[in-house]
Structure 1
């Protein structure tokens, strides 16, 4: 093999690539044969379990043990459940229950499903301490705002995933929970003193490392208290000095998606890739829409940096060597178990009802109105709400809806309002306030982070919008109507 071919192969070994559609394109299969580390699956790659299994078999014929990864957190961020919502509650619900064995069981069951599909790396769990109530990108993806609680459940989640033979990935290092902006769009700032960062943000990563987490994913955030003027992903002080040397992590460091504006808006993806490798990242998650010729451009930027002496060849070899460990099977510690029931059990246990549920009986049933909000970039278009259990559910945009329109829809029937992260959406809060004044017996179901509590007859918190969270709420509501739950 020529020197150029060897260098190209080393660069390929650091690339975790996306692709369009439900079948592997020719360029992807060729790239895997030429050393791509593996693939990252998104909604557009997943149609059914049978299709995914067939796809993975095709990938495995192109190369020996490529990494097959996805962002499967359960809860709101789901890939395998994107058609109808996840069968597992997210971290917020698990944090509310605060049962470490439940968290371990849920993640073990989830990993069992992933392993059956051929997935080898789950880019989860999120171990961010969500201390910013208006955080637009973490929210219900976090176990909570208490550092010790998040740290305990971080270790339990890692243990559950890896015990079923799927490599886990703690994210978003060094902590995305104190941000007020979304790194998909801008470069957020975490304005916390170094001592606070160590005692709050870093503690869950320490417990994840102690639990043997196979990989850690970086955050595109700015940390002025550490002297950073750019993203943590591109900082050697964060990735090498802090994560490697101070915290002692020896596994694989994965960059968050390099197409995110928080890291590449000003410099482009190829330059971000080189800088991420310079900082100490081993595996580069490119994102969702970096295909074929774009990937070739990234590879060329890496090899050019090595040839010019800017990026030491030893650094590239080190990264490729570490990534190779993720291509080796993760040992199955305990027998894989298909415990989907643990997901619904967790959702039911997390659910809380505040106030007095009114009688919802009516010949035509209650009116269920869901107030829609734009999905987070990390979540995408995933179904949510009570529609499967209340077929006449109406979905309205609060900024385009008046209380008179709601009144016309309700008439004399009982009303259930469903909201999601109302604390971040003024239009939603205003409409809910007016509706609850007009209908004092209104039941509000909150399927996001329940920061804002409206003045209503009864308030139901689900701590997430997964399908099982919705089912738990539907079961409670159905206790006040004649029809059984389906």
Structure 2
């Protein structure tokens, strides 16, 4: 007996896929005509604005109400500007400035650009409260460590974004900010009672629900008191009892990528994870970045099989597809042109820079950038002071724990040193490198990640940018007097 085409279409209506390259392949468009909810755009899909607009138009030819999603957070997580770095600072910088109107304006500018390109859903803002300095995946993506401040800015971000016709998706429920593991690679645990979540992690989600956020993304984190041994993505206690009933959210619940190890390891496969997420109360299932027609069909077939064998109630899948359809109907391009490049993001990044110590120096410095890896969420996006430095200012690269400090001392000669890094406080060998240089040279440390509590005692100055976007790099160079 063949598969029920009605059930296949129903299952497809809960899936958010992706495709490779700048031009949507035929299968990606054909599946939309068959009922697929939509696609997420990644950096590999993006070359320039005209190409992105053509791609989203091709997707709409498959079905006019397609959901076109993207991770455009500004700051360290950008897809549109993956080749250069974002012209906007991220949440940590905006939270440091602590001007909610500025946060609204920045997100409205991002939303207007997305809308003009045909994107209908921004998988932003990140509303996690970053209470762990060692958090490897949130950090500068968070508005800060204070729940009240994060709540205010989260609501402002949602308001600014959704005013442009682009749906916002607050993430990662019920809060990824206290983790010290990356759910792209493993299943992190937040072992606290629900009362702690309500006081520390959940206020921003309450604020965005009140602000009318259209979507909330689940976290692949384990909260034993609520989720048992599995992640929140598969927990009805989290997605239904907490988010729907207690917090009154009526929009679409979107899963974080089901290909992530935090989900796959817990479920035993993407298809099984899709069934478990739907059963728990999720509506739109983000499959991930590495997707082809075969994977989409296999996940849809698993959902259909689960309806057939009783693991999933058809009514639950119909509810999920209905909420997804409502999300698609409520979002869409407004036709408004994007705002002029008026320097909003660069001015905002400059306001976020914090300086401790003395920046005066006797000569132009040697700028040393310390190598830092990127998370999967960030991707390999250029960062640092390099593009913003005046002619004649020499740069060098260093690898903490590997580069010989004496080599850098010789290169610097009589010049002071500006040491630029990301998350230096948790980068093995970085402190030792800084201290070795400071023993013989005037050193200014520029921290472009989450600064944490550590300060380099031997350095003459410590500069925190609260992010590593193109805007943050320019702001740091300007603050140090190193621009042309």
* TM-score (norm: length of structure 2): 0.95
Alignment map for 1:267-306 (pairs within 5 Å): 267-306=268-307
Q: Which residue of 1 aligns with 2:447?
A: 446
Equivalents in 2 of 1:295, 1:453: separation in Å?
48
Q: What residue ranges of structure 2 are gaps of 5+ in the alignment?
A: none
Equivalents in 2 of 1:468, 1:309: separation in Å?
52
Question: Is residue 108–residue 336 contact of structure 1 (8 Å, CA) maintained in 2?
Answer: no
Q: Which residue of 1 aligns with 2:479?
A: 476
Equivalents in 2 of 1:241, 1:273: separation in Å?
19
Gap change, CA 1:251 and 1:329, over 3 Å in 2 = closer
SS in 2 for 1:426: coil
Q: Which residue of 2 aligns with 1:151?
A: 151
- How far residue 413 of structure 1 moved from its aligned partner, in angstroms, is 2.0
Q: Which residue of 1 aligns with 2:429?
A: 427
SS in 1 for 2:39: strand
Q: Which residue of 1 aligns with 2:165?
A: 165
Equivalents in 2 of 1:438, 1:292: separation in Å?
59
- How far residue 226 of structure 1 moved from its aligned partner, in angstroms, is 2.3
Deviates more, 1:459-468 or 1:285-294: 285-294
1:320 maps onto 2:321 in alignment: yes
- How far residue 122 of structure 1 moved from its aligned partner, in angstroms, is 0.2
Q: Which residue of 1 aligns with 2:366?
A: 367
SS in 2 for 1:460: strand
- How far residue 426 of structure 1 moved from its aligned partner, in angstroms, is 2.4
SS in 2 for 1:413: coil
Question: Is residue 120–residue 332 contact of structure 2 (8 Å, CA) maintained in 1?
Answer: no
Aligned length: 476
Q: Which residue of 1 aligns with 2:465?
A: 462
1:357 pairs, out of 342, 359, 363, with 359
Equivalents in 2 of 1:336, 1:254: separation in Å?
28
Equivalents in 2 of 1:399, 1:52: separation in Å?
41
1:250 maps onto 2:253 in alignment: no
Alignment map for 1:143-292 (pairs within 5 Å): 143-226=143-226, 228-266=228-266, 267-292=268-293
Gap change, CA 1:331 and 1:38, over 3 Å in 2 = closer
Alignment map for 1:382-397 (pairs within 5 Å): 382-390=381-389, 392-397=394-399
- How far residue 26 of structure 1 moved from its aligned partner, in angstroms, is 1.3
Question: Is residue 358–residue 457 contact of structure 1 (8 Å, CA) maintained in 2?
Answer: no
What's the CA shift string for 1:292-333, capped at 9, x where partnerless?
211111111001001112211111111111001121143899
Equivalents in 2 of 1:167, 1:51: separation in Å?
22
Question: Is residue 69–residue 123 contact of structure 2 (8 Å, CA) maintained in 1?
Answer: yes
Gap change, CA 1:360 and 1:110, over 3 Å in 2 = farther
- How far residue 227 of structure 1 moved from its aligned partner, in angstroms, is 5.2
Equivalents in 2 of 1:17, 1:337: separation in Å?
26
Equivalents in 1 of 2:429, 2:388: separation in Å?
26
SS in 1 for 2:439: helix
Equivalents in 2 of 1:227, 1:91: separation in Å?
28
Gap change, CA 1:474 and 1:60, over 3 Å in 2 = same
Equivalents in 2 of 1:332, 1:257: separation in Å?
25
Gap change, CA 1:273 and 1:319, over 3 Å in 2 = same
SS in 2 for 1:353: strand
SS in 2 for 1:368: strand
Question: Is residue 118–residue 332 contact of structure 2 (8 Å, CA) maintained in 1?
Answer: no
Q: What residue ranges of structure 1 are gaps of 5+ in the alignment?
A: none
Q: Which residue of 2 aligns with 1:77?
A: 77
1:380 maps onto 2:365 in alignment: no
Question: Is residue 22–residue 51 contact of structure 1 (8 Å, CA) maintained in 2?
Answer: yes
Q: Which residue of 2 aligns with 1:102?
A: 102
Equivalents in 1 of 2:134, 2:305: separation in Å?
42
Gap change, CA 1:375 and 1:240, over 3 Å in 2 = same
The RMSD of aligned alpha carbons is 1.7
Equivalents in 2 of 1:393, 1:125: separation in Å?
34
1:405 maps onto 2:404 in alignment: no
- How far residue 389 of structure 1 moved from its aligned partner, in angstroms, is 2.1
Equivalents in 2 of 1:153, 1:445: separation in Å?
25
Question: Is residue 386–residue 395 contact of structure 2 (8 Å, CA) maintained in 1?
Answer: yes
Equivalents in 2 of 1:82, 1:172: separation in Å?
22
- How far residue 336 of structure 1 moved from its aligned partner, in angstroms, is 7.2
Question: Is residue 259–residue 290 contact of structure 1 (8 Å, CA) maintained in 2?
Answer: no
SS in 2 for 1:172: strand
What's the CA shift string for 1:373-410, capped at 9, x where partnerless?
11012101000001112374222211221211211221
Equivalents in 2 of 1:199, 1:352: separation in Å?
28
